[in-house]
């Protein structure tokens, strides 16, 4: 194998076509690999076949010196494993040096959620007398009603909103499509936004039918949603650390607390593996223990 040949384009095609990964995930893999090869250059290692366990150990130490978060280190290692698995699978290499590479132990943490009162506090803080306010109310009502990722809601088109059937066609990771019920409040504010808000924001720009637009008539971006939520939380006086994904966590948890079937919640979230959804059952039991501890007369030890 030529020294300079890393088969990166082949690997990218594998991620895109065979594994059907989202564009952002593909980019993260490639950035991790670029960082890895940049490090190897300092060790005069230029070919994938020249990497051994010691090289990987040195790289792990380098990441530690850079004070990289454990979650980021784990992601880098995951990218390396995927790459070398591909190289062996395609016959470009015989041995996989990442076979015994151990990822750092990550603390098990439950996702942060908002209770129903916090959700209502946030939503009621939006001034719906403005075009942008109508957009924001429709946006966050929808994120909570449908449990959508921020990227999914930013890419949502008008055609994906089936008002007559009360259904949203959500395109998730890897362009997989799922159906999620719209819900009464979300539908109400979407109708208001489409009637009065979006036409005022459109401003004649070509936006490919994207549902949520910014104040310049362009598609709303993920960073914009983060900014809007941060400003809204401050206005509502909410002290909790929240993100757009908090709405998704809250959506799932509130459904399970209400008695929804785990498989149905998995389908609405677009999780491939039910084990990913099961974290919300732990969250639910944790919440129940907290309530029991707080209110049961014999729950606290004297």
What's residue 64's pLDDT? 87
pLDDT surpassing 60 at residue 302: no
Domain presence at residue 101: no
Q: Are both 81 and 193 inside the same structural domain?
A: no
Q: Write down the catalytic residue from 43, 75, 171, 173.
A: 173
**What integer pLDDT is reported at residue 1 of this predicted model?**
42
Question: Phi then psi for 182, rounded to 5 degrees?
Answer: -80, -45
Report the predicted TM-score, pTM, of the whole model to 2 decimal places: 0.59
pLDDT in tens, 172-223: 777 778 888 888 888 999 999 999 999 999 887 677 799 999 998 899 998 8
Identify whether the C-beta of residue 236 lies closer than 8 Å to the C-beta of residue 121: yes
Q: Do 156 and 245 share a domain, yes or no?
A: yes
The two three-digit tokens of residue 202, written as one number: 């459109």
The verdict on residue 106 lying in a domain is no
Total tally of structural domains belonging to the chain: 2
Residue 99 lies in a domain: no
> Does a structural domain hold residue 94?
no
Q: Are residues 160 and 260 in the same domain?
A: yes
> In whole angstroms, what is the distance from residue 270 CA to residue 264 CA?
10
Q: 187 and 141 in contact (C-beta within 8 Å)?
A: no
- CA–CA distance, 198 with 218 (Å, rounded to integer): 11
Residue of 48 and 71 predicted with greater confidence: 48
186 and 238 belong to one structural domain: yes
Q: Which tops the pLDDT comparison, 173 or 135?
A: 135
What is the number of other CB atoms lying within 10 angstroms of the CB of residue 223?
10
Tokens 């959700």, located at residue: 119
One domain, residues 273 and 229: yes
Examine residue 188 and state whether it is found in any structural domain, yes or no: yes
Cβ neighbours, 10 Å, residue 267? 15
Q: Is 223 a catalytic residue?
A: no
> Do residue 147 and residue 285 come from a single domain?
yes
Average pLDDT over residues 281-295: 51
141 and 275 in a common domain: yes
Q: What was the pLDDT predicted at 107?
A: 53
Contact criterion met (CB below 8 Å) for 135 and 197? yes
Last residue of a domain, one of 40, 74, 89: 89
Give pLDDT, residue 279. Answer: 61
Predicted pLDDT of residue 257: 74
* H or E element that contains 76: helix 70-89
Catalytic residue flag (residue 239): no
**Could you give the CA distance from residue 258 to residue 110 in angstroms, rounded to a whole number?**
19
Q: How far apart are CA 93 and CA 230, in angstroms?
A: 48
**pLDDT value of position 189:** 95
CB 277, CB 252: distance < 8 Å: yes
Instruction: Quickly count: other Cβ atoms within 10 Å of residue 287's Cβ.
Output: 16
Indicate which residue of 245, 282, 289, 292 is catalytic: 245
Give the Cα separation of 91 and 89 in Å (integer): 6
- State the sign of the Cα–Cα–Cα–Cα dihedral 85, 88, 89, 90: positive
- Concerning whether 280 is annotated as a catalytic residue, the answer is yes
Residues 63 and 180 reside in one and the same domain? no
Residue 299 within a domain: no
Torsion angle (degrees, nearest 10) of CA 26, 29, 32, 33: -110
Q: Is residue 284's pLDDT more than 60?
A: no
Q: In the chain, what percentage of residues exceed pLDDT 90?
A: 29
pLDDT at 110: 56
| Catalytic residue selected from 6, 248, 249, 254 | 248
Do 143 and 273 have their domain in common? yes
CATH at residue 187 = 1.10.443.10
Same domain, 67 and 147: no
Residue tagged active-site, from 6, 249, 254, 271: 271
Q: Are residues 288 and 144 in the same domain?
A: yes
Residue in 6, 135, 149, 254 annotated catalytic = 149
Q: In the structure, what pLDDT confidence band is assigned to residue 291 with cuts at 50, 70 and 90? A: very low
Higher pLDDT, 296 or 156: 156
Q: Which domain, by its residues, includes 71? A: 8-89
Predicted confidence (pLDDT) per residue in 84-134, tens digit: 999 999 999 998 999 888 776 655 555 577 888 888 999 999 999 999 999
Residue 15 lies in a domain: yes
Q: Read off the CATH number of the domain in which 82 is found.
A: 1.10.150.130
**The last residue of a domain, from among 73, 89, 105:** 89
For the chain, the first-to-last Cα distance in angstroms comes to 71
At residue 274, the pLDDT reads 61
Which one of 72, 89, 106 terminates a domain?
Answer: 89
Average pLDDT over every residue of 272-283: 60
Question: What's the token pair of residue 146?
Answer: 């449908």
pLDDT digits (tens, 9 = 90+) for 13-34: 988 888 878 788 889 999 999 9
Q: Is residue 186 part of a domain?
A: yes
């Amino acid at each position: 194998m030529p020294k300079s040949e890393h088969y990166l384009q082949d690997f990218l095609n594998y991620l895109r076509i065979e594994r059907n990964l989202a564009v952002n995930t593909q980019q993260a893999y490639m950035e991790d690999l670029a960082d890895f090869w940049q490090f190897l250059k300092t060790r005069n290692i230029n070919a994938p076949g020249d990497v051994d366990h010691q090289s990987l150990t040195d790289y792990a130490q380098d990441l530690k010196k850079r004070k990289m978060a454990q979650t980021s280190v784990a992601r880098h290692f995951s990218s390396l494993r995927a790459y070398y698995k591909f190289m062996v699978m395609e016959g470009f290499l015989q041995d996989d040096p990442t076979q015994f590479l151990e990822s750092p132990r990550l603390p098990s943490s439950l996702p942060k959620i908002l209770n129903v009162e916090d959700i209502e506090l946030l939503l009621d803080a939006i001034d719906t007398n403005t075009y942008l306010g109508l957009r924001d109310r429709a946006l966050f009502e929808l994120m909570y009603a449908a449990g959508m990722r921020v990227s999914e809601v930013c890419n949502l088109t008008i055609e994906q909103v089936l008002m007559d059937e009360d259904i949203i066609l959500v395109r998730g990771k890897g362009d997989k499509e799922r159906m999620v019920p719209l819900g009464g409040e979300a539908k109400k504010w979407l109708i208001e936004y489409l009637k009065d808000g979006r036409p005022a924001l459109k401003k004649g720009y070509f936006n490919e039918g994207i549902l949520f637009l910014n104040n310049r008539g362009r598609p709303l971006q993920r960073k914009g949603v983060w900014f809007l939520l941060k400003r809204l939380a401050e206005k509502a006086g909410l002290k909790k650390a929240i993100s757009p994904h908090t709405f998704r966590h809250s959506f799932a948890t509130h459904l399970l607390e209400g008695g929804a079937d785990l498989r149905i919640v998995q389908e609405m979230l677009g999780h491939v593996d039910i084990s990913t959804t099961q974290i919300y059952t732990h969250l639910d039991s944790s919440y129940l223990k907290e309530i029991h501890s707080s209110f049961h007369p014999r729950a606290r030890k004297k």
